[in-house]
Structure 1
């Protein structure tokens, strides 16, 4: 008896979709069939995979009839329409958009933090926001050790979080400015080259952005503790790959900086880079292309009794999106939570 696992990547031609295919290959995910799905505009394109190519197929309502698992990275409207169709056909969905994250019936999962939530899925699992993922893998072991009361986070997020058009915009704006030309922004409301924009996603009635409130609400849901108070300021910076975060944590039980280093050095998916005297600390250039979340600048907050300051960096396309989705798929498979047909 062999077990056949048929998976589809929805939004396969986008930045995250391409990264998902790369990670499936790198991690030797045991799929017998991999289907690349995208809009009609992308149908017919060829994407590299395992020494050959996948021909992109147009996404439609029948795309999931012969699939067991679908990894979605095609935007909220696509997920809202097609994820329920896939689930009704018996195909389990791991969705990278924000469409299902706060649905109480949909697990929001980071495998290092709350893998047990996968057991209650009803066909759709949500992949959290990139900036939330890298933060919670660091917060969870500290929460277990000292119970987090409050978090203040400021993010410094790479343009790849917006997609391939933003990557190209930063590239072109840098060239234009070196040629003494003033760029005309298209993707962002202001020039991103040599600039910082304290504005990610739309502004809400409370004057926070949607990205900032995602971090608040998603963290509470993933950590399973709505008593954690969190405030965020999210900033887009002229970096291609890798999100950075300055995180201040207040705990009920005091955790010294030395204790935090030990706790985090043993945390799954985390690597401590913390020797400031030798100028060792995480930077986006360390994180690009890497699976781990890096943490450094670990120090006690001298303004409060039980506080820590942390600097967290991760590759937003990998751990912040594609890798986390594939890790969810691996847990689903390991725990027999995917429908898999047996074939002679």
Structure 2
């Protein structure tokens, strides 16, 4: 037996990717509903070899549906997620709305699968921020071996993390560079993104951090270990898809780079490509469309007693959003909502 699944926000980048991944991974679906706002009503989306028409989220009845994968913003989630949860449909939410709620599990299946059993408190499971998701996949197996004290991370985040508007702005500005009469001033971002980098993602907080940087700190503590100290600098770069991170890790005990490489090679969800030669590492363009989180440039940090550096790259629309949501659905099905 399969599940009755609803995908909320099915016409957006992440919603479409959720549908692709559900089909690619042969998720056991008996029935699927694709939901969107009224302005997108009737828009066609693909699910495997099928073409589906979107239904109106505002009037949809979630009663009798097993899971709803939400790929809409926090404002819409605030309205519709409680309705779905109250109707008995488990919500897997990609927005930031419930990530810091103590009664809502925040899950990366390779890292804290046991947390899924906490879904029943509110019938909601939160999907972490895209930049956090790929980082904790790399941190957890190393933490299990040598206990992480502190993480310093600098991110290089693609424009798709800002949605379709971010992709369009990079494309339009890049073209306008070669056509000065067709100027494209920034709208989605605070400064020009084409041929530039912007050290600003989400809003600024009183501490001087941006909200994106704060999210990486809070979410890593919730998912992996509240004792880990994390500091982040999050930067938007002119890349369409794929987030990259330079991660510096300080451990309680010494961990040799060769052992770390072996541990990561054996860890779920990770692909190690780490050769000390030209091109012996992974860049964002090479990770697009892949399920894995790629790790390269593993090396000792000689400036501290127990330090390592590594480079981490992942498709943010997949592991950072849609794939992780589908993996949560798979985990929920195996552990909590067994059919047949």
TM-score by length of 1: 0.96
Rounded to whole Å, the distance in 2 between the matches of 1:46 and 1:307 is 50
Task: Report the equivalent of 2:184.
Answer: 183
- 2:50 alignment partner, one of 52, 55, 61: 52
Q: Per-residue CA shift, 1:299-325, capped at 9, x if unaligned?
A: 100100100001000000001000000
In the TM superposition, residue 205 of structure 1 has moved relative to its aligned partner by: 0.7
Q: Is the 8 A contact 1:128 1:218 kept in 2?
A: yes
Q: Is the 8 A contact 2:142 2:263 kept in 1?
A: yes
Task: Report the equivalent of 1:13.
Answer: 11
Rounded to whole Å, the distance in 2 between the matches of 1:196 and 1:261 is 30
Task: Report the equivalent of 1:166.
Answer: 166
Rounded to whole Å, the distance in 2 between the matches of 1:260 and 1:129 is 25
1:95 matches 2:100: no
In the TM superposition, residue 209 of structure 1 has moved relative to its aligned partner by: 0.4
| Residues 155-304 of structure 1 mapped to structure 2, 5 A cutoff | 155-181=155-181, 182-223=183-224, 225-304=225-304
Rounded to whole Å, the distance in 2 between the matches of 1:101 and 1:338 is 22
Task: Report the equivalent of 2:315.
Answer: 315
In the TM superposition, residue 271 of structure 1 has moved relative to its aligned partner by: 0.6
Q: Per-residue CA shift, 1:83-123, capped at 9, x if unaligned?
A: 11111101001000000000000000000000010012121
Tell me how many residue pairs correspond in the alignment: 337
Q: Is the 8 A contact 2:38 2:58 kept in 1?
A: no
SS at structure 1 position matched to 2:169:
helix
- 1:119 alignment partner, one of 117, 120, 124: 117
Task: Report the equivalent of 2:82.
Answer: 84
Rounded to whole Å, the distance in 2 between the matches of 1:61 and 1:108 is 28
Rounded to whole Å, the distance in 2 between the matches of 1:270 and 1:238 is 25
SS at structure 2 position matched to 1:108:
coil
Superposed CA RMSD in Å reads 1.2
SS at structure 1 position matched to 2:29:
coil
Q: Per-residue CA shift, 1:273-305, capped at 9, x if unaligned?
A: 111224311200121110000011111001001
Q: Per-residue CA shift, 1:228-285, capped at 9, x if unaligned?
A: 0000000000000000000000000110111110110111000111112243112001
Rounded to whole Å, the distance in 1 between the matches of 2:156 and 2:26 is 32
Q: Is the 8 A contact 1:90 1:339 kept in 2?
A: no
TM-score by length of 2: 0.97
| Residues 318-337 of structure 1 mapped to structure 2, 5 A cutoff | 318-335=318-335, 337=336
In the TM superposition, residue 157 of structure 1 has moved relative to its aligned partner by: 0.2
Rounded to whole Å, the distance in 2 between the matches of 1:209 and 1:176 is 29
Task: Report the equivalent of 1:110.
Answer: 108
- Unaligned runs of 5+ residues in structure 2 are none
Task: Report the equivalent of 1:152.
Answer: 152
In the TM superposition, residue 339 of structure 1 has moved relative to its aligned partner by: 7.6
- 2:31 alignment partner, one of 18, 23, 33: 33
Rounded to whole Å, the distance in 2 between the matches of 1:327 and 1:259 is 28
